[in-house]
Amino acid sequence: MKFRGKIVDVACLNHFTRVVTTISKLTKTCVLRLNPDNLFFVLSGKVANGGVSMWCELSQANFFDEYQMEGVSPENNEICLELAPENLSRALKTVQNAKSVKVKLTKKHCPCLTVCAELPTLSSSSRVVTHDVPVDVIPKRLWHEFKEPSVPDFDVSIYLPPLKTIKNVVDRMKNLSNFLVIEANMNGEMNLKIETDLVSVTTYFKDLGNPPWGDGASQDGGPTQSRDPDSMAEARVDVRKLQQFLVGQQVNPSKSMCNIVHQSVLHLILLHEDVSLQYFIPAVA
Amino acid sequence: MQCVVTGGNVKVLAKAIHSLSRIGDELYVEPQEDGVSFSLQLTVFLCRYSIPDGRNFRCKIAIKSVQSVFRSLATLEKTVEKCHIELNEQKDRLTFTLHCKHGLLKTHNLSYQDSESLQAVFNKDTCTNEFRAQPRVLVDTVAHFPPSLEEVTVTVSDERMWVRNHVEDETERSKAMLTELCLASDEFDHFVVKTPNSVTFCLKEFRGLLVFAESSNLPVSMYFDEPGSPVVLSVTDGVLEGNFVLATLSDDPSLPKNKTGSIAHAPPSPPPDDFMNDDMDSYLIAMDTSVASGPSTAGPSASTLTDPCTSKLPEANHRTRTHSEEEEEEMEDGSERPPNKKFRSLFFGSVFPPSPKMSTQPVTTQEVLASDSEDES
Which amino acid belongs to residue B55? R
Q: Band of the pLDDT at A4, cuts 50, 70, 90?
A: very high
The alpha-carbon gap from B162 to the nearest alpha carbon of chain A, in Å, equals: 9
Q: Which of B169, B188, B276, B288 to mutate to test the interface with A (most CBs of A within 10 A)?
A: B276
Q: What's the burial of B369, exposed, middle or buried (CB within 10 Å: 0-12/13-18/19+)?
A: exposed
- 8 Å CB contact of A109 and B146: no
Q: What is the per-residue pLDDT for B254?
A: 55
Q: What is the per-residue pLDDT for B57?
A: 67
* Partner-chain residue, chosen from B146, B176, B276, that has the shortest CB–CB distance to A105: B276
For residues B247 and A180, which has the higher predicted lDDT (pLDDT)? Answer: A180
Q: What is the per-residue pLDDT for B50?
A: 45
- 8 Å CB contact of B144 and A129: yes
ipTM of the complex: 0.82
Which amino acid belongs to residue B373? S
Comparing CA positions, the residue from B245, B250, B244, B247 lying closest to residue B227 is: B250
Residues in chain B: 377
B262 in contact with chain A, both atoms CB, cutoff 8 A: no
Distance CA(A55)–CA(A36), nearest Å, equals 18
B351 in contact with chain A, both atoms CB, cutoff 8 A: no
* Partner-chain residue, chosen from A94, A127, A139, that has the shortest CB–CB distance to B288: A139
- 8 Å CB contact of A129 and B278: no
For residues B350 and A20, which has the higher predicted lDDT (pLDDT)? Answer: A20
- 8 Å CB contact of A90 and B281: no
Nearest chain B Cα to A67, which residue? B275
Q: What is the per-residue pLDDT for B251?
A: 66
Give A250-265 pLDDT, tens digit per residue. Answer: 777 889 999 999 999 9
Q: Band of the pLDDT at A57, cuts 50, 70, 90?
A: very high
Give B352-366 pLDDT, tens digit per residue. Answer: 444 444 333 343 444
Mean pLDDT along residues A76-91: 93
Q: What is the per-residue pLDDT for A282?
A: 93
B73 in contact with chain A, both atoms CB, cutoff 8 A: no
CB atoms near residue A91 (< 10 Å) = 26
Which amino acid belongs to residue B275? F
A4: chain B residues, CB-CB within 8 Å: 275
Q: What is the per-residue pLDDT for B253?
A: 58
B276: chain A residues, CB-CB within 8 Å: 2, 104-107
Q: Kind and range of the H or E element at B15?
A: helix B8-21
Report the range out of A149-153, A178-182, A229-233 with the highest average pLDDT.
A178-182
pTM value is 0.71
Give A108-124 pLDDT, tens digit per residue. Answer: 888 999 999 999 887 77
Q: What is the per-residue pLDDT for A38?
A: 92
The alpha-carbon gap from B179 to the nearest alpha carbon of chain A, in Å, equals: 4
Q: What is the per-residue pLDDT for A248?
A: 78
In chain A, % helix, strand, coil (3-state, to 5) comes to 20, 40, 40
Comparing CA positions, the residue from B35, B55, B59, B61 lying closest to residue B47 is: B35
| Chain B residues 120-179 with a CB less than 8 Å from chain A | 137, 140-141, 143-144, 146, 173-179
- 8 Å CB contact of B177 and A137: no
Give B3-23 pLDDT, tens digit per residue. Answer: 788 877 788 778 777 777 776
Q: Kind and range of the H or E element at A136?
A: strand A136-137
Distance CA(B348)–CA(B342), nearest Å, equals 20
Q: What is the per-residue pLDDT for A96?
A: 92
Give the Å distances, CA to CA, from B230 to A62, B42, B123, B320, B322. 49, 16, 9, 20, 21
Q: What is the 3-state secondary structure (H, E, C) of A14-57?
A: HHHHHHHHHHHHHCCCEEEEECCCEEEEEECCCHHHCCCEEEEE
Q: What DSSP character marks residue B229?
A: S
- 8 Å CB contact of A134 and B144: no
A123: chain B residues, CB-CB within 8 Å: 184, 186-187
Angle at the Cα of A78 from the Cα atoms of A213 and A37, rounded to 5 degrees: 50
A77 in contact with chain B, both atoms CB, cutoff 8 A: no
Whole-number mean pLDDT of chain A?
Answer: 89
| Chain A residues 117-136 with a CB less than 8 Å from chain B | 119, 121-134, 136
Nearest chain A Cα to B177, which residue? A133
Q: Kind and range of the H or E element at B284?
A: helix B280-289
Q: What is the per-residue pLDDT for A186?
A: 92
Cβ atoms of A42 and A52 within 8 Å: the answer is no
- 8 Å CB contact of B275 and A128: no
* Partner-chain residue, chosen from A70, A111, A131, that has the shortest CB–CB distance to B283: A111
Q: What is the per-residue pLDDT for A64?
A: 94
Q: What is the per-residue pLDDT for A8?
A: 93
| Chain A residues 160-179 with a CB less than 8 Å from chain B | none
CB atoms near residue B376 (< 10 Å) = 6
CB atoms near residue B302 (< 10 Å) = 14
* Chain A / chain B CB contacts < 8 angstroms: 111
Q: What is the per-residue pLDDT for B21?
A: 74
Q: What is the per-residue pLDDT for A236?
A: 94
The alpha-carbon gap from B230 to the nearest alpha carbon of chain A, in Å, equals: 26
For residues A86 and B40, which has the higher predicted lDDT (pLDDT)? Answer: A86
Q: Which of A104, A107, A115, A142 to mutate to test the interface with B (most CBs of B within 10 A)?
A: A107
Q: Kind and range of the H or E element at B136?
A: helix B135-142
For residues B254 and A177, which has the higher predicted lDDT (pLDDT)? Answer: A177
Cβ atoms of B41 and B58 within 8 Å: the answer is no
Q: What is the per-residue pLDDT for A17?
A: 93
The alpha-carbon gap from B234 to the nearest alpha carbon of chain A, in Å, equals: 23
pLDDT for A184 beyond 90: yes
Q: What is the per-residue pLDDT for B112?
A: 83
Give A59-74 pLDDT, tens digit per residue. Answer: 999 999 999 999 888 8
Which residues of chain B fall short of a pLDDT of 50? Answer: 41-54, 256-279, 288-368, 371, 373, 375-377
CB atoms near residue B150 (< 10 Å) = 18
The alpha-carbon gap from B183 to the nearest alpha carbon of chain A, in Å, equals: 5
CB atoms near residue A121 (< 10 Å) = 16
Domains and CATH numbers, chain A: 2-146 (3.70.10.10), 156-282 (3.70.10.10)
Comparing CA positions, the residue from B65, B86, B42, B53 lying closest to residue B364 is: B86
The alpha-carbon gap from B130 to the nearest alpha carbon of chain A, in Å, equals: 19
